Structure 1
Amino acid sequence: MSDERAAAFETLYTGMFHHLLGYATRRCDTPEDAADVVAEIFAVAWRHLDRIPPGEQARLWLYGVARNVLANQRRGATRQRLLPKVLASEVATLYEPSAEDSADLGTVAAIFRGLPDSDRELLSLVAWEGLDPGQIATVLGCSRNAVRIRLHRARRRLAKELASAGIVSDLHSLSGGGVR
């Protein structure tokens, strides 16, 4: 291992660790699963360090790797179902809403979880990861225009569901977007 390679990896790791941990934590059922995802992302990054694009493109490349790692993890979890019921109930209590959380937040969360996976991923990349359509296009491997169209439709579906639940009265505020 060369010192230059190790330094490049360390720079990538320190610059992206918290972003990727946040990304994984918001998409995994447990903090342990999120930690496993991040570890695998960086294992892939180490193996392909010479192929990682420079600068901002490295961040987007890592988000693409993260999506693939999460997809693999979900497939594995579906096949194995190793989590016993006792542990599942203990973990569930860690994520119970506090008394100060409003009923609306629970409803919004349920509506969000009810959206198609592709809509949730697009909306999450914008809201949680702060990516713009061009960056999302790189992560998803599609055109910027396709992202804009999909994002517009995802926002419209979310706005419609929220309005049906009586949470948002102004559909334009969600469906119109604002992200270009």
Structure 2
Amino acid sequence: MTHPPGARDRFEAIYDAHYPAVHQYAARRTDAPDDTADVISETFLTAWRRIADVPEGAAARLWLYGVARRVLANQRRGRARRAGLAERLKDELSAARPSRPDGLDHVGEAFAGLPARDREVLALACWEGLTGPEIGKVLGCTATAARIRLHRARGRLARALGMTEEDRATAELRGESL
């Protein structure tokens, strides 16, 4: 996009003259500083893109208020769409969530009690079915490091479940994975 000569100087003059007013306009209509900053930046980005449409003098402030008003409306619509989508997704996921077979609540509790690092590597192996090299790629480490992390996490899970090393070895021989 090319701007006419002097567009940058004109934009800077508009920005300098009207930034405080646009800031106050946005701050009074938003709940969070981040939202205020978004309104201000979108408003002045629009002014830069449409510099030829920005009226001269004091009318520029009113034009900027109009832009800010539309930016705020877009923010509200986006927030409402995201909230609706999140609610639908939550409903779908809770309806599709498999129920845990009786007697396995202790496994979920033991898993939840592990450090996040262990839960992550176990979930990648068991839930996603990834191999050591694949886990390494996801975690940004070598395949060997991933296998070691997985081995240690399985051991901590087994201990949390009260399994002995013999129980664990037997499970691994049968092809069962912790």
Higher relative contact order, structure no. (Cα contacts within 8 Å, ≥ 6 residues apart): 1
> TM-score by structure 2 length?
0.44
Which structure is larger by alpha-carbon Rg, 1 or 2?
A: 2
TM-score, structure 1 normalization: 0.43
